[in-house]
Structures are given as structure tokens and as C-alpha cells.
């Protein structure tokens, strides 16, 4: 994003893929929930609140995109490949946003020393099973992953909250606060620049935090 200075990171690790399901079915099962969880210190569970995003999907083979050979597609989306399916989903879920996507067939490797915190319903290749195996399986070797970097209105709340908390500091009570050579005027200027940056991510709404007077 050439005009963005801050982005929010999201990921689904592993991306929940059940054997036998096509990617349109997997994405459609999410309903109005976003298909990832926040990695940044911000939460915005609603779809469609995004200016621009770059999305990467790993570990989904082309045959998982939609229809099977010799079978009619269940929908127009099922007739598309993996990358086109993901691109169409992003355009529908985030209308008006500039979305780019990249698809890699290679899954994310998770062999030790990667922490094995996965559910017993996960196969060695990271796909969801209907029930746990009869015997304890070996370590999960790889998982499919869906990740995104977004320029979104939620960053307005994050940056404005950071500015608000920093302004509440009584720097006069901390003798070592400016020991690194930062001047009080420089500190105040940085706060103003942070407020200006926060406004760049506003999307026609006003939070209660915005009413915080100077």
C-alpha cells in the first residue's frame, strides 16, 4: 500500500479446510464472520470495513477451487480456480476495497520445533478430520494458512487510542522520561502527528475517543 503507513495483520492458522470441501464452500460457511483472527492489537469482526488489503492463501491445491472433473459446478464460483475464487470472495466481502491476493500451493511447514498446539482433529497435513484418529498421530507437518495485511478504519481507533493514552502521561512526574534527549516540544509535535495519522484512517464515523478534548 504506497499511501499507507500502518496496516493491521490478520491470519487463520491453520485455515480450517475439511477434506472433500471446495474453497467456495469453506469461505461461504463463514457467513458474516471474517475468515481470520487479528494479530494486531485491534479487533473489527465486521466484513466490509477495509480500504485496501493484500491476502495470501497457502496450502490449497488447485483442485480444491471448485468443481470436480466430469461434474457440473454447483455455482459460478465453483467453476473458478483457487485464486479467482479468493479474489471474488474478497470483492464480495469487502466491497469498494482494493484487494490483491496470492495463492501458494505449498503449505506452511510446522514440524518441530514449531509448537504442536493443534487440535487432535487436525491431520498431519493440517486438514480437519470428522473425528480424532483411533491412535495418537504424529506431529502436524504442515497447515494451510490464510493471512492478510489491511489498511482499514479500525486503525483509526488504534492510533487515536494510542495518542489519547500518551497525552494522559504527566511527563513532569517522570524525571527520566526525556533522558534520551527528546524535548517536550518534540513530544507534543509527535502527538499531533499521531492524531493527524489517525484521521487518515477515519471512515465517516466518530468514536467517543475522538471527543477527547485537547
Express each pLDDT in 102-140 by its tens digit: 999 999 999 889 998 898 889 889 999 888 877 766 789
Does residue 206 lie within any of the structural domains? no
Q: How far apart, in whole angstroms, are the C-alpha atoms of residue 193 and residue 84?
A: 40
Q: How far apart, in whole angstroms, are the C-alpha atoms of residue 164 and residue 194?
A: 10
Residues 33 and 121 in one domain: yes
- H or E element: which one contains 84? helix 82-93
Q: How far apart, in whole angstroms, are the C-alpha atoms of residue 6 and residue 203?
A: 15
Does residue 2 lie within any of the structural domains? no
Residues 131 and 184 in one domain: no
Sheet holding 98-104, edge to edge: 37-38, 8-12, 145-151, 52-58, 98-104
Q: How high is the pLDDT of residue 58?
A: 96
Residues 114 and 191 in one domain: no
Range of the domain at 87: 8-151
Q: How high is the pLDDT of residue 205?
A: 44
Could you say which residues of the chain have pLDDT below 70? 1-4, 43-48, 63-73, 136-137, 175, 180, 203-214
Q: How far apart, in whole angstroms, are the C-alpha atoms of residue 211 and residue 205?
A: 12
pTM of this structure:
0.80
Secondary structure (3-state) at 145: strand
Amino acid at each position: 500500500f504506497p499511501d499507507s503507513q500502518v496496516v493491521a495483520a490478520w491470519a487463520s492458522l491453520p485455515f480450517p479446510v475439511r477434506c472433500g470441501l471446495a474453497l467456495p464452500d469453506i469461505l461461504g460457511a463463514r457467513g458474516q464472520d471474517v475468515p481470520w483472527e487479528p494479530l494486531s492489537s485491534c479487533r473489527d469482526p465486521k466484513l466490509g470495513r477495509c480500504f485496501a488489503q493484500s491476502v495470501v492463501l497457502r496450502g490449497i491445491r488447485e483442485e480444491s477451487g471448485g468443481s470436480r472433473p466430469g461434474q457440473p459446478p454447483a455455482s459460478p464460483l465453483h467453476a473458478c480456480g483457487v485464486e479467482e475464487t479468493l479474489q471474488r470472495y474478497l470483492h464480495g466481502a469487502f466491497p469498494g476495497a482494493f484487494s490483491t491476493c496470492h495463492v501458494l500451493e505449498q503449505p506452511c511447514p510446522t514440524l518441530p520445533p514449531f509448537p504442536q498446539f493443534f487440535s487432535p482433529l487436525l491431520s498431519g497435513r493440517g486438514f480437519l478430520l470428522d473425528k480424532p484418529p483411533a491412535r495418537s498421530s504424529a506431529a502436524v507437518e504442515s497447515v494451510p494458512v490464510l493471512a492478510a495485511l489491511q489498511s482499514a478504519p479500525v486503525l483509526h481507533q488504534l492510533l487515536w487510542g494510542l495518542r489519547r493514552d500518551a497525552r494522559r502521561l504527566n511527563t513532569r512526574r517522570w524525571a527520566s522520561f526525556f533522558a534520551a534527549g527528546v524535548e517536550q516540544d518534540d513530544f507534543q509535535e509527535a502527538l499531533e502527528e499521531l492524531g493527524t495519522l489517525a484521521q487518515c484512517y477515519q471512515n465517516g464515523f466518530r468514536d467517543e475517543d475522538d471527543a477527547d478534548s485537547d
